[in-house]
A and B are shown apart, each in its own frame.
Chain A
């Protein structure tokens, strides 16, 4: 299995509080991604990173920010959590964007409940 960890694995928080989720990889992959997965919607890309300090928005980026100060760490922040952000969050990594390099490897996920 690819060396990807996510922390925390579970979190319960209240509406309006800031929340930061961490993704850590030991594979030295260039690309890192944050997805959310909800029933009926499948996996939706929130943000991704193509290098240290290089990030871009995905299809559902509103209400989320990211940072990548080191190759191995990719942080997802909910500035002010809302109940609609209750979800399962997956981090993923890949070597590149084409051919065999684009295979994505996922972390174990973080279950977030916003009350």
Chain B
């Protein structure tokens, strides 16, 4: 299994729909998890951290499943402005590892 793996997409989703991404990681000792967002030709920016109990920020919900070693990101009521690449980030303890990202296109 790769250290951090994401479905590259693209996910083409109509505006207003709910979309979910998963990200799997290989190191069971990983302690920190994040989702970053990267717009086309821009730098990555932190979207949200992922806590063990799951956490929500507006339309965005992040969850962690340690048993199956994956994290997820759920976007509800998607907006055109949500179109971007979403990067899964995992810290197994000694370094930060970025996934290759999942591209999301919100369709009008």
A45 interface residue (CB < 8 Å to B):
yes
B44 near A42 (CB under 8 angstroms)?
no
A-contact bits for B54-74, CB 8 A (1 contact / 0 none): 000000000000000000000
B95 near A90 (CB under 8 angstroms)?
no
B49 interface neighbour in A90, A103, A108, Cβ under 8 Å: A103
A90 near B44 (CB under 8 angstroms)?
yes
Q: Which residues of A contact B32 (CB under 8 A)?
A: 98-99, 102
Q: Which residues of A contact B44 (CB under 8 A)?
A: 43, 90, 106
Complexed CA–CA distance, A104 and B96 (Å): 9
Q: Which residues of B contact A100 (CB under 8 A)?
A: 49
A22 to chain B, nearest CB (A): 16
Complexed CA–CA distance, A104 and B99 (Å): 14
Q: How many A-B residue pairs have CB under 8 A?
A: 37
A103, A107, A109 pick with most chain B CB within 10 angstroms: A103
Q: How many of chain B's residues have a CB under 8 angstroms from any CB in A?
A: 17
A33-60 with Cβ < 8 A to chain B: 40-43, 45
A-contact bits for B10-37, CB 8 A (1 contact / 0 none): 0000000000000000000001101000
> Which residues of A are interface residues toward B (Cβ below 8 A)?
40-43, 45, 90, 97-100, 102-109
25 contacts between A and B (CB under 8 A): A40-B100, A41-B100, A42-B87, A42-B98, A42-B101, A43-B44, A43-B87, A43-B98, A45-B96, A90-B43, A98-B31, A98-B32, A99-B32, A100-B49, A102-B91, A102-B96, A103-B34, A103-B46, A103-B49, A104-B46, A104-B96, A105-B46, A106-B44, A107-B43, A109-B42
> Which residues of B are interface residues toward A (Cβ below 8 A)?
31-32, 34, 42-46, 49, 87, 91, 95-96, 98-101
